[in-house]
């Protein structure tokens, strides 16, 4: 570890401690590799010293591939271990509805082992920037289940659940919509608004899901109740029972936050995805009555914290790069556009409409 002045910092140096602003907010997270733009940001925030690794001569990771780019040649980027295991999980989940309709057991051991493989690479998962590609509503359902599982797993850690609960909460997120296997597929894939009768039938998936899971001894009661309660709300306005927060299992409250986030940020056949930052603002407003406010606060703080450098499009179609997020306004970061800082906490008429890869 080396403490170094900003005027001695070079591009390629790696931070080994978080860099804080003079007011105590996180500017850059540890392990960040410094770019030319980062040097300007550090200077602008009057940071005087940072902690970097003693030697920056490490060899490139074996996961990376050196690709020679030639004119006219197509270059295929290597698939990360996280993406490989994620895709395998989606494919494994695809067969579960058929097993349920045939009254066959769910391969929980295989599912659990596959989740563990993904969790080995969970550091590669960024809720803001990760956007799986698919073309139909069935794929949407599979991806939402897997993403809700991963996000529930992280949120369980962030809010302080003991480690013994992490996998069970991940399973709760993965299996919350399992009751959809016995709902008419024409309702699930309908692009327009459901009729009152169709809405009533669709809402039955919560009760059906609980019935499917209730006799599986490998799942704890929280997983089963999450299938039943993930559409309940803390003010009693949800379904199927209209329970208020005092009657909801903590797993259900965790899964509800993750489910809403991914339902809105994922692409659907009949509508485009909504910006993660707009979704977080909506979730934040729902925290006052609909969702557990503590879980929501921690979720937004964690998701928005480490996105410095992410390219975004604003509502006036300008494209820029996130350079800083204030602790009290995590959904409205500072965006650099052509070296001019747009502070969204002040310019409230602007907002992020798209996160660019």
308-320 tens-digit pLDDT? 889 999 999 999 9
Query: How much is the pLDDT for 193?
Result: 84
- Cα-based angle 345, 351, 355 (whole degrees, multiple of 5): 120
What percent of the chain is predicted at pLDDT more than 70? 90
Q: Is 286 helix (H, G, I), strand (E, B) or coil?
A: helix
Is the confidence at residue 1, as pLDDT, over 70? no
Query: Of 220 and 17, which is predicted with more confidence?
Result: 220
Q: Is 323 helix (H, G, I), strand (E, B) or coil?
A: strand
Nearest to 336 by CA among 307, 312, 354, 304: 312
Query: How much is the pLDDT for 121?
Result: 96
Model pLDDT for residues 88-106, shown as the tens digit of each residue: 999 999 889 999 999 999 9
The residue with tokens 């509503």 is 137
pLDDT band at 269 (very low <50, low <70, confident <90, very high): low
Model pLDDT for residues 105-138, shown as the tens digit of each residue: 999 999 999 999 999 999 999 999 998 887 677 7
Average confidence (pLDDT) over 246-260: 97
Where exactly does CATH 1.10.3210.10 map onto the chain? Answer: 82-295
Where exactly does CATH 3.90.105.10 map onto the chain? Answer: 2-52
Could you tell me if 232 and 239 are in contact, meaning their C-beta atoms sit under 8 angstroms apart?
A: yes
Could you tell me if 174 and 314 are in contact, meaning their C-beta atoms sit under 8 angstroms apart?
A: no
Query: How much is the pLDDT for 81?
Result: 92
2-52 CATH: 3.90.105.10
Under CATH, to which class is 82-295 assigned? mainly alpha
Is the confidence at residue 69, as pLDDT, over 60? no
pLDDT band at 62 (very low <50, low <70, confident <90, very high): very low
- Report pTM: 0.80
Mean pLDDT lowest among 175-189, 259-273, 293-307, 339-353: 259-273
């Amino acid at each position: 570890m080396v403490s170094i002045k900003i005027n001695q910092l070079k591009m390629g140096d790696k931070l080994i401690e978080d860099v804080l602003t003079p007011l105590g907010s996180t500017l850059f997270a540890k392990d960040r590799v410094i770019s030319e733009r980062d040097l300007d940001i550090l200077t602008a925030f009057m940071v005087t010293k940072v902690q970097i690794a003693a030697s920056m001569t490490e060899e490139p990771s074996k996961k990376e591939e050196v690709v020679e780019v030639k004119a006219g040649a197509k270059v295929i980027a290597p698939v990360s271990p996280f993406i490989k295991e994620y895709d395998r999980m989606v494919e494994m989940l695809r067969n579960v509805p058929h097993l349920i309709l045939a009254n066959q057991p769910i391969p929980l051991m295989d599912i659990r082992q596959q989740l563990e493989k993904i969790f080995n690479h969970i550091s590669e998962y960024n809720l803001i920037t990760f956007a799986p590609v698919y073309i139909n509503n069935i794929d949407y359902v599979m991806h939402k289940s897997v993403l809700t599982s991963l996000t529930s797993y992280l949120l369980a850690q962030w809010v302080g659940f003991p480690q013994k609960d992490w996998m069970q909460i991940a399973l709760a997120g993965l299996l919350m919509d399992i009751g959809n296997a016995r709902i008419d597929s024409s309702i699930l894939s309908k692009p327009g608004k459901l009729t009152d009768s169709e809405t009533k039938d669709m809402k039955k998936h919560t009760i059906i899901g609980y019935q499917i899971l209730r006799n599986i001894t490998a799942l704890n009661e929280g997983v089963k109740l999450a299938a039943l309660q993930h559409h309940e709300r803390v003010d009693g306005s949800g379904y199927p029972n209209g329970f208020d927060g005092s009657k909801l299992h903590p797993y259900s409250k965790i899964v509800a936050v993750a489910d809403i986030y991914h339902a809105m940020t994922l692409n659907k056949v009949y509508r485009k995805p909504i910006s993660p930052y707009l979704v977080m603002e909506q979730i934040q407003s729902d925290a006052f009555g609909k969702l557990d406010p503590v879980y929501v606060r921690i979720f937004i703080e964690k998701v928005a914290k480490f996105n410095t450098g992410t390219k975004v499009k604003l509502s006036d179609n300008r494209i820029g790069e996130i350079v800083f997020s204030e602790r009290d306004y995590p959904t409205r970061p500072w965006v650099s556009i052509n070296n001019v800082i747009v502070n969204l906490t002040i310019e409230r008429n602007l907002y992020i409409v798209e996160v660019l890869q």
